[in-house]
């Protein structure tokens, strides 16, 4: 009998934000694939889980993916986690899942174990319309970035994307040029001690972050109101 691949959502900050089912699955599988073994080891230690960890990230080779598939074919049950949130959302998990579905149809089961996601967490507390939204992941640094900014400016849906602390001020400047006085929200340090939402126009939000540099720390979720 072939093994199962479990796509397991993990906390985005607060280690208590994990489901009972996720803890059980992590304790039962033969192997856990993770982006950073140190990060995942901290989570497992909290729940007293001792398992073999193997690194799987954007730099993993095709041969590495083939080796994982062979383990599944041999009947091993494997969990795939990301550093934070749901695997496959702005991380390389989709490469492995796509390859398994292409080559192993009707054999290996791929089972999602749902849980935390920064996208839905940020939207739920933003006050912006969330029944219909566009998620763009991390915007490209250069090529295609301005095209996406124009798409954001023309969107009749709420737009959500991720931004790093190193580019957040530049991002707000670009948004100001493209969306003007439209309202935005930025959520940072979600579920952590310094969790915070800042709402206003891009210019207003930029002013707050410029005057309070400590607010530029942490990963950001940026939410732009519909046109």
Residues 98 and 130 reside in one and the same domain: no
8 Å CB contact between 223 and 179? no
pLDDT score at 102: 85
pLDDT score at 107: 81
Helix and strand numbers, DSSP H then E, in the chain: 8, 10
Is the pLDDT assigned to residue 18 strictly greater than 90?
yes
pLDDT score at 191: 96
Domain boundary among 59, 84, 113: 113
For residue 86, give its domain range: 4-113
Residues 123 and 214 reside in one and the same domain: yes
The total domain count for the chain is 2
Strand partners, 222: 161, 186
Residues 34 and 56 reside in one and the same domain: yes
Q: Where are the beta strands (DSSP E) in the chain?
A: 4-8, 31-34, 53-55, 78-80, 109-113, 133-138, 158-163, 184-188, 196-200, 220-224
CATH number at residue 135: 3.30.950.10
Q: Edge-to-edge, what's the strand order for the sheet holding 31-34?
A: 53-55, 31-34, 78-80, 4-8, 109-113
Mean residue pLDDT across the chain: 93
Between the two ends of the chain, the Cα-to-Cα distance in Å is 52
Residues 66 and 23 reside in one and the same domain: yes
Q: What is the pTM of this model?
A: 0.90
pLDDT tens across 19-37, in order?
999 999 999 999 999 999 9
Strands 78-80 and 109-113: what pairing? Answer: unpaired
pLDDT tens across 125-170, in order?
999 999 999 999 999 988 899 999 999 999 999 999 999 999 999 9
Domain boundary among 113, 135, 157: 113
Burial of 84 (0-12, 13-18, 19+ CB in 10 A): buried
Is the pLDDT assigned to residue 106 strictly greater than 80?
no
pLDDT score at 167: 94
Residue 103: which pLDDT band, with cuts at 50, 70 and 90? confident
The residue-averaged pLDDT of 191-217 equals: 96
Domain boundary among 57, 89, 113: 113
pLDDT tens across 45-68, in order?
999 999 999 999 877 888 888 999
Residues 109 and 19 reside in one and the same domain: yes
- Taking the C-alpha atoms of residue 218 and residue 93, their distance in angstroms, rounded to an integer, is 23
pLDDT score at 32: 98
8 Å CB contact between 5 and 78? yes
pLDDT score at 130: 93
- Taking the C-alpha atoms of residue 16 and residue 13, their distance in angstroms, rounded to an integer, is 9
Task: Give the count of beta carbons closer than 10 Å to the beta carbon of residue 168.
Answer: 22
Q: Dig out the tokens for 167 from the structure.
A: 């580019």
């Amino acid at each position: 009998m072939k093994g199962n691949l479990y796509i397991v959502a993990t906390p985005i900050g607060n280690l208590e934000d994990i489901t009972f089912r996720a803890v059980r699955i992590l304790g039962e599988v033969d192997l856990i694939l993770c982006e950073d073994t140190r990060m995942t080891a901290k989570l497992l230690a909290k729940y007293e889980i001792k398992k073999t960890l193997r690194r799987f990230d954007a730099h993993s080779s095709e041969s590495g993916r083939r080796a994982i598939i062979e383990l599944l074919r041999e009947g091993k049950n494997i969990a795939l986690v990301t550093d934070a949130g749901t695997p496959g959302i702005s991380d390389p998990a989709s490469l492995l899942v796509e390859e398994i579905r292409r080559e192993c149809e009707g054999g290996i089961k791929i089972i999602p174990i749902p849980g935390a996601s920064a996208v839905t967490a940020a939207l739920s507390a933003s006050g912006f319309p969330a029944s219909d939204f566009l998620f763009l992941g991390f915007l490209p640094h250069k090529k295609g970035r301005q095209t996406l900014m124009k798409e954001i400016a023309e969107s009749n849906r709420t737009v959500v994307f991720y931004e790093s602390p190193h580019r957040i001020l530049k991002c707000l400047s670009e948004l100001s040029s493209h969306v003007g006085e439209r309202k935005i929200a930025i959520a940072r340090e979600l579920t952590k001690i310094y969790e915070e939402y800042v709402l206003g126009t891009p210019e207003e939000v930029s002013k707050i972050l410029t005057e309070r540099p400590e607010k530029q720390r942490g990963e950001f979720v940026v939410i732009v109101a519909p046109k």
